């Protein structure tokens, strides 16, 4: 058989698989140790009652011949697409219509699959550090070039460093990209771009005829009024930006799986319409998110649903603040935890993986090495506010003791 050789270029396993293997090995050797996990960005609170009610009702419908639903519309049920358009966009004065919204099983899938619409020689630009799916999916497609294990970079990828020297704000690249990946709030740094800063990127993309691939998975955690919840709050974004959204982090759907992508009809080139291409791809490769999940998604926008998921977001942000405040008081250097559930911690002279091992074996706390998010993530470490409050406080106390050693 002949395989896709680009997969063989990927260095090692997926970041979180590597972490899982290391943690399992340590736990097997030390079964008496109680680990506190603040690594993977998985939620811990149960699904909100209003959403559970909707799930049960949808399941009951599936057991009745008159209300049974088979294949979902491949682009999503109109009841959910219309609600999203109104509640998430039109109420924010974003000119997005229901037929520009594509329902899927999550933002991760869409962020990885969107690259299929572009030429293999398209040049990508990514913030550094950033969510690894952006780069890895382009490696699999043969778009990233050659990997340099010394620098941790790919030859055909334009890196936009987000480091303390530039306040974790990416600067416009000197080399023209075709695709620009932006994550706001950023995963892993927890930092954000303001509306004014995003306008710079929109204007740049339009001038260079580039497309912004905008991951807004954490928009529910934004508290600062000058940070937009959608890139379409910025004038001109309709003609150059694709937006990805998720129900995982705002409503706890990590185990339910639901998200959506917004592609305005104005994003076109001489070859065709990006909106029409994505619709064609969606219809060919996807049979639609299940009815049960989409009914659950609709419940997120109900009065009870909004209140309940808002309380959960506040709970996780309380955890993030506890991490940030506790560690900075102890002398750690950190950012994030304000508009994002992530705290980005500087590891000092230790590499990211050295700090991971020290934290695991001495404090019994699991986090995520920053180098796994890109070369500029070296000497940084990500901690998540998605644990329970009690475990979060205990983890901070353990890290404070480690700092004193």
Reported as a pLDDT band with limits 50, 70 and 90, residue 323 is very high
Does position 9 have pLDDT exceeding 80, yes or no? yes
Q: What percent of the chain has pLDDT over 90?
A: 95
CA–CA separation, 49 vs 296, rounded Å?
11
The pLDDT-based confidence of 41 (bands split at 50, 70, 90) is: confident
| pLDDT tier for residue 3 given thresholds of 50, 70 and 90 | very high
Mean pLDDT, residues 289-306: 98
For the stretch 352-368, pLDDT in tens is: 999 999 999 999 999 99
Contacts of residue 38, defined as CB under 8 A and 6 or more positions apart, other chains included, come to 323, 365, 366, 367, 383, 384, 385, 386, 387, 391, 392, 395
State the chain's mean pLDDT as an integer: 95
Q: Is the pLDDT of residue 173 over 90?
A: yes
Q: Is the pLDDT of residue 21 over 70?
A: yes
**pLDDT bracket for residue 405 (50, 70, 90):** low
Over residues 51-69, the mean pLDDT reads 98
Q: What percent of the chain has pLDDT over 70?
A: 99
Average pLDDT for residues 210-234, to the nearest whole number?
97
pLDDT beyond 90 at 285: yes
pLDDT digit string, tens, across residues 97-112: 999 999 999 999 999 9
Residue 14 has pLDDT above 80, yes or no: no
Residues in the chain: 405
pLDDT, mean of residues 134-143: 97
pLDDT on residue 17: 80
235-250 in b/e form (b: 16+ CB < 10 A) is eebbebbbbbbbbbbb
pLDDT at residue 245 tops 80: yes
CA–CA distance, 140 with 298 (Å, rounded to integer):
34
Which residue do the tokens 């004038």 mark?
A: 235
Q: CA separation (Å) from 58 to 72, 259, 296, 299?
A: 13, 18, 8, 11
pLDDT band at 18; cut points 50, 70, 90: confident
What is the per-residue pLDDT for 192? 97
Mean pLDDT over 376-384 rounds to 96
Alpha-carbon Rg for the chain in angstroms: 21
| pLDDT for res 258 | 97
pLDDT given at position 13: 67
Quick one: average pLDDT of 21-33?
A: 93
| pLDDT band for position 404 (cuts 50, 70, 90) | confident
Average pLDDT of the segment spanning 53-61: 98
SS3 category, 39: coil
What's the pLDDT at 19? 87
Q: Whole-angstrom Cα distance, residue 26 to residue 31?
A: 8
Segment 142-166 shows an average pLDDT of 95
Query: What are the tokens at 52?
Result: 């559970």
Question: What pLDDT is stored for residue 40 in this prediction?
Answer: 77
Q: How confident is the model at residue 12 (pLDDT cuts 50, 70, 90)?
A: confident
């Amino acid at each position: 058989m002949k395989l896709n050789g680009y997969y063989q270029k990927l260095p090692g396993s997926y970041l979180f698989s590597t972490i899982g293997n290391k943690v399992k090995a340590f736990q097997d050797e030390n079964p008496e140790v109680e680990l506190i996990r603040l690594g993977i960005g998985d939620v811990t609170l149960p699904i909100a009652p209003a959403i559970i009610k909707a799930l049960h009702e949808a399941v009951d419908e599936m057991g009745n011949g008159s209300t049974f639903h088979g294949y979902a519309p491949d682009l999503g049920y109109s009841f959910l697409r219309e609600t999203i358009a109104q509640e998430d966009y039109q109420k924010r004065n974003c000119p997005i219509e229901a037929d520009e919204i594509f329902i899927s099983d999550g933002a991760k899938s869409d962020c990885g699959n969107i690259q299929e619409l572009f030429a293999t020689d398209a040049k990508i630009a990514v913030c550094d550090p950033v969510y690894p799916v952006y780069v890895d999916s382009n490696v699999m497609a043969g778009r990233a070039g050659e990997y340099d294990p010394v620098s941790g970079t790919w030859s055909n990828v334009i890196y936009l460093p987000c480091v303390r020297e530039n306040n974790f704000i990416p600067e416009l690249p000197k080399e023209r990209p075709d695709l620009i990946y932006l994550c706001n709030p950023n995963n892993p740094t927890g930092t954000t771009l303001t509306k004014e800063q995003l306008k710079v990127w929109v204007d740049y993309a339009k001038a260079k005829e580039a497309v912004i691939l905008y991951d807004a998975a954490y928009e529910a955690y934004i508290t600062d009024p000058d940070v937009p919840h959608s890139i379409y709050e910025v004038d001109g974004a309709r003609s150059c930006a694709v937006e990805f959204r998720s129900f995982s982090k705002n409503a706890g759907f990590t185990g339910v799986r639901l998200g959506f992508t917004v592609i305005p009809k104005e994003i076109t080139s001489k070859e065709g319409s990006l909106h029409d291409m994505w619709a064609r791809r969606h219809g060919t490769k996807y049979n639609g998110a299940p009815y049960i999940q989409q009914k659950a998604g609709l419940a997120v926008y109900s009065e009870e649903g909004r209140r309940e998921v808002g309380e959960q977001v506040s709970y996780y942000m309380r955890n993030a603040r506890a991490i940030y405040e506790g560690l900075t008081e102890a002398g750690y250097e950190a950012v994030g935890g304000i508009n994002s559930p992530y705290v980005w911690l500087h590891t000092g002279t230790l590499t990211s993986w050295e700090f991971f091992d020290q934290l695991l074996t001495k404090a019994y706390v699991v986090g995520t090495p920053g180098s796994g998010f890109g070369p500029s993530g070296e000497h940084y470490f990500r901690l998540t506010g998605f644990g329970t409050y009690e475990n979060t406080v205990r983890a901070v106390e353990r890290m404070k003791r480690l700092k004193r050693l």
